[in-house]
Structure 1
Amino acid sequence: MCSNIAIFAGNTTTLMQLLIFILAYPVLWLISILPFRLLYLFSDMVYIILYRLAGYRKKTVRNNLQLVFPGLSDRERLQIEKKFYRHLSDVFLEIVKTLSISAETMEKRFVYTNVEEIRKLEKNKSVILLFPHYANWEWTSSLDPQVSSKGYAVYKRIKNSYFDRLVKRIRGKFGTTLIETRETIRVIRKNQRDHVQAVYGFLSDQSPLMSKAIYWEDFMGINVPVHVGAEILAKRTGLAVMYLRIEKVKRGYYQGTFLPLAENPESFPDYDITDLFLREVEKQIRETPEYYFWTHKRWKHRGRQPEQKKK
């Protein structure tokens, strides 16, 4: 009886997921085929809905900005807040636009300023590429055609399996393969055995689970747990580590610059590579804060560092 109820509940959930996807997908597709001029007019409307009507995570954004920029006036933080929501609306729609965007258009709108830096490394080594939720991180999927290595992006599976497949399709449009965190070491080891050079993209700026918090460091002046998985993998496998500095040039146009962090990570003291990454992220946030993803509760574990884990 219990097993039958569980099966029925599972089937109902799957059916609901499919229904939501069927209703949403045509809308997403229609948005994706809009010319960029109309796309950004629509983004202006999305901004009004997100920010002024729905107030999407506005409390979280304000708390984060107050924590990070206590020296700014309320008016200055409000200006950052408004600019952030305009940018957020753009990014949401740019992600949808990826459904139908051509390779030629993407190449014009996301330019890599010094791709030769990663090309030099990939001749001899696979690379772990670190970057934060900054500017338009999703369009980094355009890197794959620029390099000879196979591109992978580490991601967290979406509960709705239909949307999960859609995300894989969007992010894999230009050749990148998505792998879950738990699969990463297995894929790296297999590629090394098969002599496959690869670039592994990691978004590493968000807060880890407290159960997995093994290292704490100041980020924007606040002591918090930080992800160290990419550094641990680099040291265990000998992969080089680079930072991708993503900048918004103007609306709808971005550029990425590769900054070497550690060609031989095993020679670095523990957590130094992670610290180098955090310092680069901080630098970008302080320069142009409105392009950081302030809706995440990045500093939610502040003040909860166990005594035995202090740096």
Structure 2
Amino acid sequence: MQFLIYLLVYPLLWVISKLPFKILYLISDGLYVLVYHIIGYRKKVVTENLNLVFPDKTEKEIASIRKKFYRHLCDMFLEMAKTMSITNKTLEKRFKIVNPEEFERLEGLNKSIILMFGHYASWEWTIVLQNYINFKALAVYKKLANKHFDKLVRDIRSKFDLTLISTKETINTINNNEINNIKSITGFLSDQSPRLSKDVYWGEFMGIEIPCFTGAERLAKKLDLTTAFLKVTKVKRGFYEAKIITLAEDSREYPDYELTNMFLREVEKQITEAPEYYFWTHKRWKHREKKQ
């Protein structure tokens, strides 16, 4: 069944990937009408999330953010498909690092780097990062249940020399690289909601206390790595910029959870500046009332 689904979906994704961007965004406009106005995909979740984190905004303001978000969501979905056939040259034009000298400076410290970022603007096109660095580029991801789509995702995201590692492979991979003196920059999408456990860290995100992932911070401290944040901004439709913000050159100097909190503050700034580009369909705050 998994292979059958893959056979049905793959040709459509491939065709989409070959379309010019102008046609791609015309399709996105139509997809927006279907997803937002007809199907109403997760509209209740999005509305609840927006009302939760923006209690002072009016119903009209919430509706405006919501519509802009769904337009961006449809763009992003098609941009993900476009990544299947996009060239390095085209991607460099559409996703630019505005301060590559900061990568160069951090690499000069001769320490591997943990690069944290959130589900904001475009995280798929961060695969272009290898063009700006000398270290080995790694990205942590969660394996897909469908092994055929999982392989497709790995192939797409590794087309520009980025190496995907599953969450279970992360510690051993980076540790082995350090033993063999292979310096790396590892990307973590760290704003997800973890499973609840007795020792989970509860931090504040958009004014609400929630359980937080701390794996990136713990790894940085354990292996003495530099910690940085990648701030991605949507410039206009189909174009993004990213800025490297150093959080800690010596991660071990910081108290437990401070780096995680610093990361959350950076994501909050992005959301405050342009909330429509955050990934509101996910239930980031679903555990907020379960702290014991």
Normalised by the size of structure 2, how large is the TM-score? Answer: 0.98
Query: Do residues 115 (structure 1) and 97 (structure 2) align?
Result: no
CA distance 1:284–1:118, shift in 2 (3 Å): same
Equivalent pair of 1:62/1:81 in contact (CA under 8 Å):
yes
Q: Which residue of 2 aligns with 1:11?
A: none
The runs of 5 or more residues in structure 2 that have no matched partner are: none
Give the AA of the match of 1:233. L
Find out whether 1:231 has 2:220 as its counterpart: no
Q: Does 1:25 align with 2:38?
A: no
Identity %: 55
Residue equivalent to 1:199: 185
Which structure: larger Rg?
A: 1
1:213 to partner: Cα distance: 5.5
Q: 2:87 maps to which residue?
A: 102
Q: Residues 31-70 of structure 1: matches in 2 within 5 Å?
A: 31-70=16-55
Measured against aligned partners, the alpha-carbon deviations of 1:200-239 in whole angstroms (never above 9, x if no partner) come to 0000001110127621111101111111110000000011
Structure with the largest fraction of helix: 1
Q: 1:121 & 1:287 partners in 2: Cα distance?
A: 27
Return the match for 2:284 from 279, 298, 303.
298
The alignment's TM-score, normalised by the length of structure 1, stands at: 0.92
The answer to whether the 8 A contact 1:213-1:227 is kept is: no
- Contact 1:129/1:199, CA 8 A, preserved across alignment: yes
* Residue identity matched to 1:91: M
Counterpart position of 1:309 = none
> In structure 2, the residue corresponding to 1:200 is in which secondary structure?
strand
Aligned with 1:283 (options 263, 269, 281): 269
Which structure 1 segments of 5+ residues have no match?
1-15, 307-311
**Partner amino acid for 1:258?**
I
- The CA deviation at 1:258 is 0.2
- Tell me how far apart the structure 1 counterparts of residues 99 and 177 of structure 2 sit (CA, whole Å): 26
Q: Which residue of 1 aligns with 2:120?
A: 134
Instruction: Tell which deviates more after alignment, 47-56 or 280-289.
Output: 47-56
Preserved contact between residue 122 and residue 198 of structure 1 (Cα < 8 Å): no
Alignment RMSD, CA only? 0.8
The aligned counterpart of 1:166 is 152
Question: Out of 206, 229, 252, which is 1:220 matched to?
Answer: 206
Distance, in Å, in 1 between the alignment partners of 2:207 and 2:197 is 23
Contact 2:103 2:132 in 1 (8 A): no
- Tell me, in whole angstroms, the C-alpha distance in 1 between the residues paired with 2:72 and 2:230: 19
Which residue does the alignment assign to 1:79? 64
The CA distance in 2 between the partners of 1:120 and 1:197, in whole Å, is 14
How far 1:170 sits from its partner (Å)? 1.2
Is the Cα contact below 8 Å between 1:213 and 1:225 reproduced in 2? Answer: no
Q: Distance in 2 between matches of 1:53 and 1:233?
A: 44
